[in-house]
């Protein structure tokens, strides 16, 4: 019933709903609405943030959606952070161990490894146990569990002001 309503609303707005489904992998829904520039303006607005002086902090952004990574990266660039990205759990472990980030923005529903399992592995690594981990999730019910093992939580869709606040807070903890 929910998809039927979505399809009807999208048709009313001149949009469409596409579905990609792989057995054993899950489903991906793509919503297209013509003439909508709100999301792009939000990303562009980040460029107006004032840059912060100081040493270059390292940030690893982990999300399977390029748009989410780009949104977070724009905020990090304003803070002159060195950024690397990963789109699945295996990449996270490889990049985290070689890059040694100060902050990790981690999608808890990342593919190839569960986000909570990744946090456990990272916290057990002596080179990574002090990294500030900010959990990203579409599931509000994960907030309490994530905050038990992470330093912050952002409910998707990603809001740049939340990213800015948590990045500043994480960088301040690093410098103190």
Domains and CATH numbers, the chain: 2-32 (no CATH), 52-175 (3.40.50.2300)
Long-range contacts for 87-92 (Cβ within 8 Å, ≥24 apart)? 87/62, 87/63, 87/111, 88/64, 88/112, 88/113, 89/113, 89/114, 89/115, 89/117, 89/118, 91/62, 92/60, 92/62, 92/118
For the residues 59-69, what does the mean pLDDT come to? Answer: 93
Structure tokens at 164: 């800015």
Cα–Cα separations (whole angstroms), residue 63 to 28, 76, 88, 123, 127: 14, 15, 7, 19, 22
Tell me the C-alpha distance between 171 and 176, whole Å: 9
The whole-number pLDDT of residue 95 equals 93
pLDDT of 43 strictly over 70 = no
State pLDDT tens for residues 106-163: 999 988 888 999 999 999 998 887 899 999 999 989 999 999 999 999 999 888 889 9
How much is the pLDDT for 121? 92
| Residue carrying structure tokens 């800015």 | 164
- The distance in angstroms from the start CA to the end CA of the chain is 52
Place 28 in a pLDDT band, splitting at 50, 70 and 90. confident
Residue 44 has pLDDT above 70, yes or no: no
Cα Rg for the chain, rounded, in angstroms?
17
- Residue 29's pLDDT band, with cuts at 50, 70 and 90, is confident
Kindly state the tokens that stand for 84.
């690397």
- With 70 as the cut, is the pLDDT of residue 35 above it? no
Residue 149 confidence (pLDDT): 93
Residue 40 has pLDDT above 60, yes or no: no
The contacts of residue 175 (CB under 8 Å, 6+ apart) are: 54
Mean pLDDT of the chain: 82
Task: State the Cα–Cα distance between residues 168 and 72, nearest whole angstrom.
Answer: 13
């Amino acid at each position: 019933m929910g998809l039927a309503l979505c399809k009807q609303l999208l048709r009313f707005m001149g949009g469409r709903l596409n579905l990609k489904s792989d057995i054993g992998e899950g489903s991906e829904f793509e919503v297209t609405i013509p003439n909508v520039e709100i999301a792009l303006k939000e990303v562009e607005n980040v460029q107006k943030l004032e840059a912060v002086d100081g040493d270059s902090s390292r940030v690893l952004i982990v999300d399977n959606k390029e748009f989410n990574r780009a949104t977070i990266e724009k905020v990090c660039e304003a803070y002159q952070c060195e950024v690397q990205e990963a789109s699945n759990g295996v990449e996270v472990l490889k990049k985290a161990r070689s890059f040694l980030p100060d902050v990790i923005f981690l999608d808890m529903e990342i593919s190839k490894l569960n986000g909570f399992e990744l946090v456990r592995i990272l916290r057990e690594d002596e080179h990574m146990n002090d990294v500030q981990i900010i959990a990203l999730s579409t599931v509000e019910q994960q907030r309490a569990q994530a905050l038990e093992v992470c330093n912050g939580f952002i409910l998707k869709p990603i809001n740049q002001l939340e990213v800015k606040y948590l990045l500043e807070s994480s960088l301040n903890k690093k410098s103190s």
